[in-house]
Amino acid sequence: MNPINIYLSLLGVILLAACSISMADTNNESKGAASAGATPFEVITENEHEKLEAYEISIHYPQTPNDQIDQSVIDYVNQVKDYFKKKSYEAAKDEMHSLKVDYDVLHEDERLFVVKFTEVIDVGTKQKEETIAILNFDKNKGKRLDLNNIFSVDRAIYTKELMQVISEEAGLTFPSTLEGGGKMNPEKESPLLENLALKGDKVEIHFSKTQQKEYALDKESVEIDKSAIKEMMHSKYAENRISWLADQ
């Protein structure tokens, strides 16, 4: 056989084999993604309790079958503990300080796992520090989602739209959050949006007690139908998905 024909034949075999391997990998990834969220997580509550002379820590947090999600949750818990210990060290030492952390699973479907943490810090000041943190996870990737993962448009655009909804639904004095001339400052306003939860056919924006007081908000949270903002969202997170929690 002509050497050129032999070369072309071998090249064809190699390319065919490569295509077959690539298709097999793609199919396996698709099957893996589908099976990753095929059933509800079996969530286990982990408890941490630490009592010393100066302070007491009590923390409850979820652990799931997904290692990446679990590590993100543990990282978050460690950050909260570090923050509390720093506050405790800097505060007066004439009384016991405390940190309490608890959680609620707000939503779970075949793609998403959404957790709300509530933290209460008491370091002897007149008022306890009560904060919240909402963590949205993509179960297929085990990835924690921030706002830029959820929305497909520029941050200034989705910030303006969501802040407008908050102003209408939660009694926010909207002009006070704008720069001169009514221009939105995403760096300043994003903290009000950081606790956004993906839930079925809507998103919920939750506010800490500190935010409620600072912005004179008359609600703990507001709901927004995804249909009103889906053009700004990545399509996979704009989908309406029924929460498995409704059946529990």
- The chain-wide mean pLDDT, for the chain, equals 82
| Nearest-angstrom CA–CA distance, 241 and 239 | 6
Range of the domain at 68: 44-247
Q: Which two tokens stand for residue 223?
A: 């709901």
Q: Are residues 49 and 29 in the same domain?
A: no
pLDDT of 46-75, one tens digit each?
999 999 988 999 999 999 999 999 999 999
Q: Are residues 48 and 32 in the same domain?
A: no
CA 155 to chain centre: 16
Q: Are residues 32 and 106 in the same domain?
A: no
Q: Are residues 92 and 14 in the same domain?
A: no
Q: Which two tokens stand for residue 177?
A: 């959050």
Residue 235 maps to which CATH number? 3.30.565.40
Q: Are residues 172 and 214 in the same domain?
A: yes
Least confident of 40-44, 139-143, 169-173: 169-173
**Quick check: 224 and 205 in contact, CB under 8 A?**
yes
pLDDT of 145-185, one tens digit each?
999 999 999 988 998 889 888 888 876 655 444 454 445 56
Q: Are residues 183 and 165 in the same domain?
A: yes
Q: Are residues 6 and 85 in the same domain?
A: no
Q: Are residues 67 and 125 in the same domain?
A: yes
The total number of structural domains that make up the chain: 2
Q: Are residues 107 and 200 in the same domain?
A: yes
Give the per-residue SS3 of 179-197.
CHHHCCCHHHHHHHHCCEE
- Rg over alpha carbons for the chain, rounded to the nearest Å, is 24
pTM of the model as a whole: 0.79
Q: Are residues 194 and 237 in the same domain?
A: yes
pLDDT of 214-243, one tens digit each?
878 888 999 999 999 999 999 999 998 888
Q: Are residues 196 and 83 in the same domain?
A: yes
Q: Are residues 177 and 93 in the same domain?
A: yes
Residue reference for tokens 């809507």: 202
